[in-house]
Amino acid sequence: MSNNSSTFFAGRHYFVLVILVALFISLLIRSAWLQVYNQEFLLDEGSQRQLRTIQTPAYRGSILDRFDTPLAISTPVDSVWVNPKQILLNQDGLKKVAESLGVNYNKTLNKLKQRANKEFVFIKRRLEPELAQKAVEGIDGVYLQREYNRFYPAGEVVSHVLGFTDIDNVGREGLELVYQDWLKEKTGKRQILRNRKGEVVENISQVVAARSGKDLQTSIDMRLQYITYRSLSKAIKHHGAKSGSAVLLDARTGEILAIANQPSYNPNQHKNKSAAARRNRAVTDVFEPGSTIKPFTLAAALDRNLYNLKSHINTAPGYMKVTGYPIRDFRNYGVLDLAGILRKSSNVGASKVALSMKPEQLWQSYKDYGFGEPTGISFPASSPGYFSDYNDWQPLDHATMAFGYGVSVSTLQLARSYSVFANGGKIQPVSLLKLDEPQQATQVMKSSTAKKVLEMMEQVVGPDGSAKQAAITGYRVAGKTGTARKSTAGGYLEDTYTSVFAGVVPVSNPRLVMAVMIDEPTKNGYYGGQVAAPVFKDVLTHALRLMNISPDNLKASLQMAKSKGQVL
């Protein structure tokens, strides 16, 4: 090889070496420049290509009726969120998303600028998945997060029982609030590897397992709930009433099969509804029960052997005075037996029975029967009613207690107290949850007394009673009407009433108890027998059939069948 060739190869070797050294130096300079002058860029790029811990969604427990019909369920939805640092570099994309979602672009832009140091900001939450996917499709820096939205299939029919949740799935009223810890879900966590577009490229590990909430089975029978709500709504409209409530109990277990209120609201759209519309009046509101308390007055006297079924009381001339104040009947009923006092709803007769007992005796009996006592239900603002101590009674209070003035109850309390007659003199807590077995009951009345009063109340629903419109063909029905003037700070109003009916069916083997209260009816009557009793009849007629409860008045059933040309 010549010297020229050696020189050529040596020069090329040095040339390549210089190039490599130059590249190495440039890489060092680039690295130093990035480390010193462009740290923020590297941190941002790195943050988009690293392990992240994200939430794994879970769903809230469902609320069911006694037959597993869904009353409150969680449905999947998607929420749109952005990384402000990314999306502020793509404001055209942000504008498209804002238009698709119907949110104000300028307000959204200002919010993101104020939170530019954050990595996660919601744009809009709880959207239908298809709508959310369409809104973010093809736009960098905008992402979706799976959540669950609370949905109430029955709407306003059972809203007062269920309540609702807020946007963060936390119970705010009703069973949703009471059983928040039971229904609450536990969000999980998992580690993922994400690329710069925010897309998950690999699931690394599950850090904390997600746990969905537990289901809650109520005692409500949605078939009966719909019927009760419909019948109550119809009565409120027909009588131009202010409000109303109704409670249907299983007499054997104390389970609440239906509880309806008017006015009502849709829990799926509760934001614009007033607190008054959202109130469970059957549980929270109290009223003077009027004559529906008379059966308990007679029961207290029978239990103490002060009277028997053959006892007679002279109610003539249709009124009496207690410390100068008159107590009046609708007319002069003359001499009545105990059944007649209930059948004619005599205030004079009931007052004379009450006054034959010491104040503490009547007070203790009423307390035993559930008046002024908690019902046993766990529910927000549940009222124990109002029942003053006998030491505070004046003689007039002693007398008027006998026909329902001076004591206040809720519709639920009244239904529970009437279950004493249905259960052979025993009282038990009520329940909004389905029970595997009846709760412990307490004997508060002689079983013989309960049976006697039940049979006397059967006459109230008979042809000569005040509650003929509560009669159900083929069944023995016992109940009592109540019509009470409403009170104000200045006394009792002349033309403003609460109309009440409470009853038990069938008398031979009691299964169902119902109380109905309608507040301030303004047309088509105001007496309890005209206004509240028909609601009882309508609901129980359907309930007896749906629950396959056999008739116990076969004679009436045969007569009805013959009138229709049927053969039994």
For this structure, is 205 an active site residue? no
Cβ atoms within 10 Å, residue 110: 11
Q: What is the four-CA torsion angle of 299, 301, 304, 309, rounded to 10 degrees?
A: -80
Number of continuous H segments (helices) and E segments (strands) in the chain: 22, 21
- 232 and 446 Cβ atoms separated by less than 8 Å: no
Residue tagged active-site, from 62, 233, 243, 291? 291
Rg (CA), the chain: 36
Q: How far apart are CA 342 and CA 33, in angstroms?
A: 99
The DSSP output letter for 470 is: G
Q: How far apart are CA 387 and CA 369, in angstroms?
A: 12
Q: How far apart are CA 403 and CA 341, in angstroms?
A: 11
Name the token pair of 79.
């929420």
Q: Which helix (H) or strand (E) holds 478?
A: strand 478-488
The DSSP output letter for 438 is: P
Residue 31, burial from CB neighbour count under 10 angstroms (0-12, 13-18, 19+): exposed
Three-class SS state of 229: helix
Strand residue runs (E) in 209-328: 216-217, 243-250, 256-262, 312-314, 319-322, 325-328
- 216 and 63 Cβ atoms separated by less than 8 Å: yes
Residue 338, burial from CB neighbour count under 10 angstroms (0-12, 13-18, 19+): buried
Handedness of CA 108, 112, 115, 118 (dihedral sign): positive
Three-class SS state of 63: strand
Residue 378, burial from CB neighbour count under 10 angstroms (0-12, 13-18, 19+): middle
Residues forming beta bridges with residue 544, ordered by sequence position: none
Peptide bond before 267: cis, by omega within 30 degrees of 0? Answer: no
Residues forming beta bridges with residue 193, ordered by sequence position: 51, 202
Compute CA 346 distance to the chain's CA centroid, rounded to the nearest angstrom. 37
**SS3 per-residue string spanning 381-399:** CCCCCEECCHHHCCHHHHH
Contacts (Cβ under 8 Å, ≥6 apart) of 237: none
Q: What amino acid positions are annotated as catalytic residues?
A: 291
